[in-house]
Amino acid sequence: MLKNKRFFLLIALTLFLIYPSSTLSNLSAIDYLVNGKKELDSCNFVSAEKNLSKALLEMKEIGDYILLWRAKALLEMERYEEALKDLSEIKRNYPSSPILKNAKIYEINILKKLDSPHIESVYKSYTDEYPEDLEIKFNYAQYLKQTGQIQKAKRIFKEIFITASPLADKAELELSEEDISVDDLIRKAKALNSSFLYKKAEKYLNLALAKSKNKLQEIILWNLGYSIFMQKRYTESASIFKKIGDFYWYGRSLLRAKEFNSFEREIQNLIKSGDQKIGELLINYANIKRRNGDFYKAIEILKETLNKYPSYREEALWYLGWNNYLANYYTEAKSIFKDLFQKYGNLKYLYWFQRAQEKEGIIETKHYSFTFRPSDFYSYLLYVKGNISTIPKPEKVVENKTIPTRVKILMQANFIEEALREIKHLLKNNKDMANIPFYCMLLNGLGDYATSVRLISKFPYGFNYQELLYPKVYYEQINKFAKKLKLDPALVFAIIREESRFDRFAVSPAGALGLMQLMPNTAKREAKKISINLINDRDLFEAEKNIYIGSFYLSKLITEFDNIVFAIAAYNAGEAVVNSWIKENRYEGIDEFIEDIPYGETRAYVKRVLTSYFEYLRTYYTLTPDRIREIIKI
């Protein structure tokens, strides 16, 4: 099995191969390139231009980068015409360059300084090609406004206004109330909802309601109901959805508001609506009834769901079996689980069929003919039970392919950001799936673990590339704090992988930050206990601080619950809610607790983290049935 350091060694060895004479016969070209960029970043523009010009003579392979940097130096020295020539050369000789967009932005900036009569056509061409660049689009609108083209400017300001961009607020100031239609307000609110800015969306939807005069009211109200629902004001959202006759969202709001009596009264109306998604609500309500001890009613609802909602048949059958299992009706549960496994092949159904057998006192250690399924949580549980005989070691390694010349040069010059940009550009235009593992290896070696993990996870047989799928990065920090806090480092790796994919600048919609996705308030509270001073939230993007605080919090949860699984659940859902789940329900095994976690998101999260935990153990440490039993206590 390759170690991560061998990936770096592969890259290093490749870079030290003798380059073709047409590329780097004179090594001073690299020196000129590196020095030129260094001087540019230090604002020594005269020296930067001289070094970059010398580098360009021998490094045409990455001439677009050199020309762009030289154009920037020339721009700063107010040698505008020369800078424009460099940018024109990029467009002419490097038409598929990943930095073509940057060259066009520089061109706009120079033409503005020159007050060129061509600036308007260049602005238009750029915004047509890159409509997502709202900053340039805003500048274009300002230019049009300054040149008296008010209506054109307003059209562009309106295009920016209907987005969720921070520039949208500035664009709004350029528009009058009459300029903004009801449709504009609706589109604006939808964009805000999609960006999780629900309170702000509500504001614009209320404006749309006041302005609509019955036109588009149903659309406005639906989006308003959704905004309010996502703000957890469920009773209000229920009222709105009932008014417009959306029975699915009406019922969903009632359940979230815990208005179970109202939901019970409305069940027949929900069913009569004919909306197939009502099947989902009935399943959720059946689970609520069962958690409140009414197994009979839960089973009755699930049977009705089976009869009326065929698209929810598998899910309804699963919960019917699960309800029977928890009600100690093991024969019925076994029959359902067996049928589900035979029809759908999900190992979850086979596992719970075996557990139901155990409840009846039937112990079976049959080795099934199917093989271990990597990254399938239930494969590990069946392995413990003896139903799967072995967990094989992956054998494939990344092939030693030739690094693309442009990437190679940028890496040798230690231009990491540019090398990553180049690899992603190659991936965007890649037509050979077989290249994916090699590109992922390069991304991993250059520190873009998140993109590497995401890509290899989607790659067929990606599980054969374990050190890409489960990278062992930030090893020194993780190992140091795990040892200090008496944590298993494999568990910390698993948490980080599932929280952020090792992206230290990750930000969740809820505002969690960094590698271990810490909420700022929680991080500040825990940081004080270990004498870490967090000056501002951005400190949580520092790998060392984030890992220490997150590991400390995780170790505290493990101590508090005296159980790794409960701690993982609490890391996601919070300590109070996990304590309530433990107190309200009596489970005979941790596996039952995992399967019955009320929050679907947390249930999936716990399974993902445990799966990653097992994968890190089997890849870098030791994974045995006893170790899995120790973790899950089965």
Going from N- to C-terminal start, the domains of the chain cover: 4-158, 475-632
- Interatomic CA distance for residues 281 and 287, integer angstroms: 10
Q: How big is the chain by its Cα radius of gyration, in Å?
A: 30
- Interatomic CA distance for residues 74 and 103, integer angstroms: 13
- Neighbour-count burial for 193-226, b at 16+ CB within 10 Å, e otherwise: beeebbebbbebbebbbeebeeebbebbbbbbbb
- Interatomic CA distance for residues 510 and 605, integer angstroms: 16
> Across the strands, what pairs with 507?
513
Domain range 4-158, CATH class: mainly alpha
Which residues have a Cβ under 8 Å from the Cβ of 603 and sit 6 or more positions away? 594, 595, 597
Dmax (CA) for the chain in angstroms is 88
pLDDT confidence of residue 369:
62
The single residue listed with the structure tokens 């493990």 is 558
Per the CB < 8 A criterion, the answer to whether 157 and 171 are in contact is yes
Mean pLDDT over the full length of the chain? 92
| Low-confidence stretches of the chain (pLDDT beneath 50) | 1-10, 12-27
Query: Between the CA of residue 337 and those of 117, 352, 625, 627, what are the distances in Å?
Result: 74, 7, 24, 27
pLDDT confidence of residue 214:
79
- Nearest in space to 143 (alpha carbons), one of 164, 112, 165: 112
pLDDT tens-digit readout, 3-55? 444 444 445 444 444 344 334 444 489 999 999 999 999 999 999 999 999 99
359: its two tokens: 């409840």
pLDDT confidence of residue 584:
82
Give kind and range of the element (H or E) at residue 210: helix 198-212
pLDDT confidence of residue 396:
63
- Interatomic CA distance for residues 519 and 574, integer angstroms: 11
135 is catalytic: no
Backbone angles phi, psi at 518, to 5 degrees: -95, 135
DSSP annotation string for 525-556: HHHHHTT----SGGGGGSHHHHHHHHHHHHHH
The SS3 of residue 507 is strand
CATH of domain 475-632: 1.10.530.10
413: its two tokens: 């010059």
Domains 4-158 and 475-632 share a fold: no
Which of 174, 280, 422, 499 is an active site residue?
499
Per the CB < 8 A criterion, the answer to whether 76 and 45 are in contact is yes
Which residues have a Cβ under 8 Å from the Cβ of 204 and sit 6 or more positions away? 185, 188, 189, 192
- Nearest in space to 518 (alpha carbons), one of 493, 552, 494, 481: 552
pLDDT confidence of residue 583:
87
The SS3 of residue 71 is helix
- 559-567 contact pairs (CB < 8 A, 24+): 563/590, 563/633, 564/491, 564/631, 565/590, 565/593, 565/594, 565/606, 565/610, 565/631, 565/632, 565/633, 566/593
Give kind and range of the element (H or E) at residue 572: helix 564-573
Cα dihedral 235→237→238→242 (10° resolution): 150
The single residue listed with the structure tokens 């979850």 is 348
Residue 518: DSSP 8-state: B
For residue 206, give the amino acid letter: N
Per the CB < 8 A criterion, the answer to whether 490 and 620 are in contact is yes
The SS3 of residue 513 is strand
